[in-house]
Amino acid sequence: MIAESPRFASKPPVAVDKDHMSVVIAVDTSGSVAGEAIRNINANLNNFRSVVCEDPVAAKSVDVCVLAFDDTVRVIQDWCPIKDMGNYELTCGGCTDLNGAVLTGIQKIRERSLVYAQQGIVERKPYLILMTDGYDTVTGNVNEAAELANRRIEEKKLKLFFLGFGAYDRATAAQLNRANGRWCFEVTNGDYNFNDFFDFAANSVKAASVAAPGGVIHVDTPVGTEESNVTLKPLDYWLSED
């Protein structure tokens, strides 16, 4: 696993008097994602910021970091307030360092947590949004990542949004999502339309970042219904679980 230098330097949090929430988005950019899939991912990444920033409090209190992973894990956007999130045109090639992507994502979250602690900022549960069409072809397994991710989920220190599409490996997804009941989001019918997933993820971030502590989080979404190409198990309890 190699984390390359970020295109943009990390930026400090703004509105330090408010609770803050960190979000890492990790995108599979291996060769199999080329074409329609990466075009749709790029479009949705660029829309993610707009949806979260519809709420002025979320625009100031959500910090985002974007990773791309193929043969290595690269920091495409280092930490910044989501209102400063850039536009992306990710390209694809190589293998799939899925184990490294999860480990790097958690490492980046820990970095931001330290910044919050140093500045006396109250931290809300961070999100790791991970999407892949495969399994790890660099390390050969996700054992290390699964152990760490599940431990942090069980300790209430992480919420994992795992999206599998294409020929993704369900056994790998189950291993990474053991603490989530061994389920994940899945794009059905070989589709590469990720609009519903990104819309749900962005609205979930927006809602979680401004909700009253201990409040029930609800997001209206077609995800999980016959109208959507993205399936999952019931959402409200999972989103609201502390």
Domain carrying residue 228: 3-240
The string of pLDDT tens digits covering residues 166-199 is: 988 888 998 999 898 877 898 987 778 899 999 9
**pLDDT at residue number 1:** 42
Q: Could you give the C-alpha distances from 166 to 34, 75, 185, 196, 212, in angstroms and in order?
A: 12, 24, 12, 16, 37
Residue that wins the pLDDT comparison between 8 and 77: 77
Could you give the CA distance from residue 147 to residue 154 in angstroms, rounded to a whole number? 11
- Looking at the structure of the chain, the number of domains it has is 1
CATH number, domain of 25, equals 3.40.50.410
**pLDDT at residue number 157:** 95
**pLDDT at residue number 241:** 60
Q: What is the mean pLDDT of the chain?
A: 90
Where are any strands of DSSP class E within 54-200? 62-69, 73-81, 127-132, 159-164, 185-187
**pLDDT at residue number 95:** 96
Could you give the CA distance from residue 121 to residue 133 in angstroms, rounded to a whole number? 36
The string of pLDDT tens digits covering residues 97-128 is: 999 999 999 999 999 999 999 999 999 999 99
Whether the pLDDT of residue 64 is over 50: the answer is yes
The string of pLDDT tens digits covering residues 192-223 is: 889 999 999 999 999 999 988 777 888 999 99
The string of pLDDT tens digits covering residues 67-89 is: 999 999 999 999 999 999 988 89
Q: Could you give the C-alpha distances from 42 to 99, 130, 194, in angstroms and in order?
A: 22, 14, 10
Q: Which of 154, 176, 156 is nearest to 164 (CA)?
A: 176
Amino acid at 212: A
**pLDDT at residue number 239:** 56
- 26's enclosing H/E stretch is strand 21-28
Q: Could you give the C-alpha distances from 21 to 117, 177, 197, 221, in angstroms and in order?
A: 12, 21, 20, 22
The total of other beta-carbon atoms located within 10 Å of residue 226's CB is 6
The string of pLDDT tens digits covering residues 227-238 is: 999 987 544 555
Whether the pLDDT of residue 7 is over 60: the answer is no
Q: What's the pLDDT band for 139 if we cut at 50, 70, 90?
A: very high
Q: Give the mean pLDDT of 56-66.
A: 96
Q: What's the pLDDT band for 6 if we cut at 50, 70, 90?
A: low
Q: How buried is 3 (Cβ within 10 angstroms: 0-12 exposed, 13-18 middle, 19+ buried)? A: middle
The total of other beta-carbon atoms located within 10 Å of residue 215's CB is 12
Q: Could you give the C-alpha distances from 27 to 91, 209, 220, 230, in angstroms and in order?
A: 11, 22, 25, 17
Amino acid at 194: F
Q: Give the mean pLDDT of 14-25.
A: 95
Alpha helices in 62-186 (DSSP H): 98-118, 143-154, 170-176
- 12's enclosing H/E stretch is none
Q: Under 8 Å CB-to-CB from 91, ≥6 apart: which residues?
A: 29, 34, 38
Which strands make up the sheet holding 73-81, listed edge to edge? 3-4, 73-81, 62-69, 21-28, 127-132, 159-164, 185-187, 230-231
